[in-house]
Chains A and B, each alone.
Chain A
Amino acid sequence: MGKKLLIHNDNVPGIATLEVYRQNGGYASVEKALKTMTPADVVEEVKKSGLRGRGGAGFPTGMKWSFLAKPEGVERYLVCNADESEPGTFKDRYLMEKIPHALIEGMITSSYALGAKTSYIYIRGEYFYVARIVEKAIDEAYAAGLLGKNILGTNFSHDCYVQVGAGAYICGEETALLESLEGKRGNPRIKPPFPAIAGLYGCPTVVNNVETIAAVCPIVMMGGDEYAKIGIGRSTGTKLISASGHINKPGVYEIELGLPVEEFIYSEEYCGGIINGRKLKAVVAGGSSVPILPAELILKNDKGEARLMSYESLSEGGFATGTMLGSGGFIVYDETTSIVKNLYTFARFYHHESCGQCSPCREGTGWMEKILHRIVEGQGKPSDVDLLWDIQRKIEGNTICPLGDAAAWPVASAIRHFRHEFEEYINHPERIKDVKHYYSVHQLAGA
Chain B
Amino acid sequence: MAKVTIDGHSIEVPDGTTILQAARMLVDNNPEVDAKVAPPTMCYYSKLKTSGGYCRTCVVKVTKGSEKDPRPMPKPVASCRTTVMDGMEVVNITSPEVLEARKGVVEFLLINHPLDCPICDQAGECHLQDLGYEHGLAKTRYDFSRRTFNQIDIGPYIKLHMTRCIMCFRCIKVADQITNNRYQGMLFRGDASEISTYIEKAVDNDFSGNVIDVCPVGALTDRTFRFKSRVWFTKPMDAHRNCTKCSGKAAVWLKGNDVLRVTARKDQWGEAIDWICNECRFEKKDAKDWVIEKPSHIDRHSVISQNHYENLAQLKLDISKQQKQIAGKK
Contacts and interface: CB of A to CB of B under 8 A. Distances in A.
Contacts of B35: none
A387 B144 CA distance: 14
Contacts of B166: 359
A363 B146 CA distance: 11
B76 A394 contact: no
Contacts of B227: none
Interface residues on B, range: 20 to 34
B54 A359 contact: yes
Contacts, number: 89
A185 B104 CA distance: 27
Interface in B172-194: 185-186, 188-193
Given A355-B190, A359-B109, A359-B167, A394 B101 contact: yes
B250 to A, nearest CB: 32
A352 B186 CA distance: 16
Contact of B108 (A168, A185, A355, A360): A360
Contact of B54 (A351, A397, A400): A400
Contacts of B39: none
B75 A394 contact: no
Contact of A398 (B74, B104, B167, B185): B104
B329 interface: no
Interface stretch (A49-57, A157-165, A364-372): A364-372
Contacts of B107: 394
A434 to B, nearest CB: 27
Nearest to A352: B190
Contacts of A356: 167, 186, 188-193
Contacts of A394: 100-101, 103-105, 107-108
Contact of B76 (A363, A367, A387, A397): A397
Contacts of A168: 189
Interface residues of A, number: 29
A28 interface: no
Nearest to B74: A397
Given A185-B186, A351-B191, A364 B53 contact: no
Interface in A349-404: 351-360, 362-367, 370, 387, 393-395, 397-400
A370 B144 contact: yes
Nearest to A371: B144
B81 interface: yes
A366 B188 CA distance: 14
Interface in A182-215: 185, 190
A363 B54 CA distance: 12
A370 B112 CA distance: 13
Nearest to B52: A190
A185 B186 CA distance: 9
Given A190-B81, A363-B111, A399 B56 contact: yes
A185 B75 CA distance: 26
Nearest to B42: A359
Contact of B105 (A355, A360, A387, A400): A360
A354 B191 CA distance: 8
B56 A351 contact: no
Contacts of A400: 53-54, 78
Q: By CB atoms of chain A within 10 A, which of B53, B74, B109, B191 has the most? A: B191
A211 B192 CA distance: 34
A244 B189 CA distance: 29
A363 B112 contact: yes
Main secondary structure of the interface of A (DSSP, over half): helix
A64 to B, nearest CB: 19
Interface in A262-309: none
B55 A362 contact: no
B142 interface: yes
B59 interface: yes
B181 to A, nearest CB: 17
A397 B98 CA distance: 12
B157 to A, nearest CB: 27
B141 interface: yes
Nearest to A374: B144
A39 B181 CA distance: 45
Given A352-B190, A366-B190, A358 B101 contact: no
B55 to A, nearest CB: 5
A283 to B, nearest CB: 27
Contacts of A190: 53, 78, 81
A362 B54 CA distance: 10
B186 A353 contact: no
Contact of B167 (A362, A393, A395): A362
Given A190-B53, A359-B105, A400-B53, A366 B191 contact: yes
Contacts of B78: 190, 400
Q: By CB atoms of chain B within 10 A, which of A190, A387, A398 has the most? A: A398
A185 B188 CA distance: 10
Nearest to B141: A387
B186 A398 contact: no
Contacts of B53: 190, 358, 400
Contacts of A399: 56
A390 B191 CA distance: 19
Contacts of A352: 190
A355 B105 CA distance: 17
B75 A360 contact: no
Interface string B191-218: 1110000000000000000000000000
A359 B56 contact: yes
A420 B6 CA distance: 44
A357 B55 CA distance: 8
Contacts of B104: 360, 393-395, 398
B189 A363 contact: no
B230 to A, nearest CB: 28
B211 to A, nearest CB: 19
Given A185-B185, A354-B190, A357-B167, 4 more contacts: A352-B190, A353-B190, A359-B55, A398-B104
Q: Which 4 residue pairs of A and B lie closest in terms of their CB atoms, listed nearest first?
A: A394-B104, A356-B193, A363-B108, A354-B190
11 contacts: A190-B78, A354-B191, A358-B54, A358-B55, A359-B54, A359-B109, A363-B108, A365-B190, A394-B104, A394-B107, A397-B76
Interface of B: 53-56, 59, 74-76, 78, 81, 100-101, 103-105, 107-109, 111-112, 141-142, 144, 166-167, 169, 185-186, 188-193
